[in-house]
Structure 1
Amino acid sequence: MAVLQRSSTYKAEGVVLSRRDLGDADRIVTLFTREFGRRRLVARGSRRPTSQHAPHIELFSRVRLVGGVGATLDVLTQAQNLEAYPRFREDLAAFAAAGWAVELLDGLSEDGEATPDAYAALVAFLGALNQRAADPEPLLSALALSLLDVHGYAPELWQCTVCSRTIEPGAHAFAPRTGGVICSTCSHDNASHPLSVDTLKTLRFIAHEGLTGAARLRADPRTRAELRTALRAYAASVVERDIASAHILERVGAGSAGPAAR
């Protein structure tokens, strides 16, 4: 992993995770970079109408940048937009799904810790989500499972996380606190969310097939709701904070319904 020294400059490719105002004209921009993980940079003057930085640091954009290492925050000196993902400005469900994804990644990340697999997964997800016909929720489920796996938090989907018995089709549930699926016997003593057979099959399918499989998936309303609830609760338990964008996505009711995965 590359180590950045104070006062040095660096080049990187990254995705804009968040922005917040600083003073009268500046912004603090948080990016997840391929080379150096999460970096926080001051984009000086980026709120001015004449700023050269402003068009290149829109939320969720993939950019090429040059930064200078500072004592507390880096300084953005150059930025070039590589991909702006126009669907996110027009489709609230896609925007909320992208927000859900970057909130999770931000919560899983440490400043300066490069995770190339997580970066590649995020970029692939944003590209797939930008397709107008894409259903945001299955793609988001695939990305969430991938990011959790990369960071060592993949949920257990085959054995009860309490008694270790193999999960048999039936009245099983998902327990965020124990890290995955629990059997009907153990579900009585643990805070859990209902998980139908179809939803468990769908979770396993997405975990195995990734974005490619998720793009083909058409889940029924019950499966979608159970997936949404289980993954939001589990992600929140891992990063120890609520995923705010998840509530927007739930209200929007993204995507179409169809038969559950088998």
Structure 2
Amino acid sequence: MEMTLPFTHNKNLKQHNHNEDFILLETPTIERLNFPVKLDVTISIICFKGHLKGHSNMRYFETGAPSLIVLLAGHTVTIENVSADFSALFIVMSKTFTSSLNIEEHLPVFLSLHNQPFIALKEAELTSLADYFKTVQKVLETDNPSTTKILQHLTKAYFYGFGYNAHNIERHTQQEKKPRLEELVENFLNQVQDNFKQERGIEFYADKLCVTPKYLSKVIKEHNGLSAKQWIDDYVVWEAKALLKSTHMTIQQISNELNFPSQSFFGRYFKRSVGLSPLAYRKM
């Protein structure tokens, strides 16, 4: 597979690679990109040292060590800051591989990763993750006709075990009731993430959340610095930027994907926000 990653890394780094579906990168030197990337792979990053800052689906995240970062396929991601002492192990899995595990819908931890890709680890959990990485590494170094099945079973077993612990942490966090306004903001962001291709009017989201458009815009502005309408527009443009830079889709296809009535309408919408036409932005 031609990996679409939200960073560049040293290409001469030794990789453990199985059929382009499962790739291990050991402590790569990474550099950030200046644009959002639409991921076509799931990337698990086991962080031992340093920090990483970025956005996933326009939600800010900042990680410290020790931690696990899981950037899911289909998400639009930017990596904006990598500390000089950053040290981590990377596991890159294709959609084909993760689909073969058949676990995402059964694990609540995956639902929480859609909103927050960062999970703080205890030392024992960090050691467990490192052991999993080493075990998989050894599997990839052997010539075994059952390698795919071994990888599937090891990864599935790990995520079930780790997912249980992570979900307990998530459930405990949820039991600490959030302030009503914070909950409203989070629900609004979730609704935009799910519906931005079809719905760009604030009235739709206000109706979904049982508040008035004026009140919703006021709350979002106070919490995020942007009005609700601006947040919706920015989310659409964020997605468009990622599709322009990290896919081979034509501008017409991107316009259709984002449900614009025409390519020219999409072009005007994009240029009003970015100051460049979609084609000019792609060529940057």
Normalized against structure 1, the TM-score is what? 0.31
Normalized against structure 2, the TM-score is what? 0.30
Higher helix share: 2
